[in-house]
A = this chain, B = another copy of it.
């Protein structure tokens, strides 16, 4: 059984990575998005095991101690992480899995899964990111400034990623994501051709 691909998708807030992931799995139902664990409380309508695995602080810490996360981080006063169990099961059954996480998490993944594919999503320019963040109208100017500075930092680290996809239009960007996955499935180490030994 050929292992599934582990696909990490990162990008600044406002890059549209969530929308792209949604469209991608709609067009490719064979790819699944990994469910994260969090210590924050479920919001109305959120379902345990679908939107998140909702854990108590104690459960989360136990899992950290047991090396049960592929990556985890404290964001504000909550903990977020990718439980290793479900991801490993899906990969072993040949299922491709998407992790939508931040760049630091992505680089942690690379250490544990050298075969992971790291994709960074961004806007066509810094100006455009600023425009999109302001256009949402949900953040105050200081918050937007923090997000932009954070985007600068993430983009600098994105050189350690395998691919950068410019989200100029959803269609274009999703098509590029599909191409990257297709191309990665054509790597010699992932191919077995009858009559020829695997090289």
Contacts and interface: CB of A to CB of B under 8 A. Distances in A.
Interface string A147-176: 000001001101101111110000000011
Contacts of A125: 193-196
Q: Say how many copies of this protein the assembly contains.
A: 2
Contacts of A166: 191, 193
A112 interface: no
Contacts of A47: none
A115 interface: no
A82 interface: no
A19 interface: no
Assign chain A's interface to a size class.
Answer: 35 or more
B186 A155 contact: no
Interface stretch (A25-33, A61-69, A134-142, A177-185): A177-185
A178 B186 CA distance: 12
28 contacts: A122-B196, A124-B193, A125-B195, A125-B196, A126-B193, A126-B194, A126-B195, A152-B196, A155-B193, A155-B196, A155-B199, A156-B197, A156-B199, A158-B188, A159-B199, A162-B188, A163-B187, A163-B188, A164-B186, A164-B187, A164-B191, A164-B193, A165-B186, A166-B193, A175-B182, A178-B179, A179-B180, A179-B183
